[in-house]
Amino acid sequence: MSRSSLKVAMPLMCFAVLFSGCQKRPLPKVELPISGKLRLDGVTLVDTHDGKLSPGMSILMDKGSIESITPTTEVLKDPLITSIDATGRFAIPGFNNMHMHVIDQADSTPVLARMLADGVTGFRQMTGSPELLKERRDGMLPIGKDAPALLLMPGSLLTPFNVGSADRVIDEIRQQKNQGADFIKVGLVSPDVFFAAIAEGKRVGLPVLGHLQEGVDAAQASHAGFRSIEHLGPGDSIWIGCSTNQTALLAEAAQHPAMKAHRSGFQPSWKRF
């Protein structure tokens, strides 16, 4: 096999392995161990809206849910309730992790449990599929009530395998809209497909986000309506946008194997994915 053929074949084989791991399989229901009543005494509450601090407060929880928040001086001691002196500690609202690949795993329980222990109470799932969207519609996702909440999830990742043209990406986005996707995630596509996806996403009301494409200026993508750049790639566009020699570097980036593959009709190189 020639070196140029290997550049194309190896990424495709890697992507085939990735897709093979995303096949539908039974996933366990997440049920996290939940303790009984627990009280934090002397804790300082942080209001994340205005930064106000309220020291000397007690938070009473039962089975992982907050029952009451009162000044510690007003708490009636109960020997049946485990209490922890949290003086000098701070309590804040839960965090949202906006880039997770968790519910498509064979067993997501350990990851979800660790997220909850770290204070993450909501997450955006970045890997989606028609099967996962159907499971969510049917209430069959492997997420119990005592786990971080699933906030958003996409459909299938946009790649040359499913959206090789601007017309095809329009059909795919409409299909994902009907499947209940919350947003569209872009992997690696040609610039014309990329901007067609953004335009169609705006038309049907689905944010488009993911990877900034090779040879596409970040400001241009943002002005077109690209909502979020994940992983700062693929490619060099982010770094090029910081250069005083941006025009020449973008032109050079357009000659990378991925862009040549798009023009010639071959599948792109996934080296930079």
Do 111 and 176 belong together in one domain?
yes
Tell me: do 68 and 153 sit in the same domain: no
Q: Which residue has the higher pLDDT, 37 or 19?
A: 37
Q: Which residue did the predictor score with more confidence, 34 or 208?
A: 208
Number of domains into which the chain is organized: 2
User: Does residue 271 belong to any structural domain of this protein?
Assistant: no
**Same domain? 72 vs 161:** no
Shared-domain flag, residues 178 and 53: no
Same domain flag for 84 and 126: no
Whole-number Å distance between alpha carbons of 210 and 76: 51
Residue 174 lies in a domain: yes
Q: Same domain, yes or no, for 166 and 254?
A: yes
Task: Read off the pTM.
Answer: 0.73
pLDDT 10s digits, 26-71: 555 555 556 689 999 999 999 999 999 999 999 999 987 899 999 9
What CATH number is attached to the domain comprising 176?
A: 3.20.20
- Residue 266 is predicted with a pLDDT of 39
CATH code (residue 56): 2.30.40.10
Reported confidence tier of residue 161, pLDDT bands at 50, 70, 90:
very high
Phi and psi angles of residue 173, each rounded to the nearest 5 degrees, phi first: -65, -40
| Co-location of 80 and 119 in the same domain | no
Residue 249: its pLDDT value, please?
Answer: 85
Residues 67, 129, single domain; the answer is no
Angstrom distance (rounded) from CA 139 to CA 142 = 9
Q: Domain for residue 145, yes or no?
A: yes
User: Is residue 172 assigned to a domain?
Assistant: yes
Is there a domain that residue 273 lies in?
Answer: no
pLDDT at 102: 93
Instruction: Look at 228 and 29; give whichever has higher pLDDT.
Output: 228
Give 189-207 pLDDT, tens digit per residue.
Answer: 988 999 999 999 999 999 9
Specify whether 88 is located in the same domain as 105. Answer: no
In a domain, 230, yes or no: yes
Domain that holds residue 63: 37-93
Q: What percentage of the chain exceeds 90 in pLDDT?
A: 56
Each residue of 70-105: pLDDT tens digit?
A: 999 999 989 889 999 999 999 999 999 999 999 988
Q: Write down which residue in 93, 111, 140 finishes a domain.
A: 93
Region of poorest pLDDT, from 12-16, 105-109, 150-154: 12-16
Higher-confidence position of 177 and 246? 177
In a domain, 152, yes or no: yes
Same domain, 55 and 15: no
Asked if 88 and 184 sit in the same domain, the reply is no
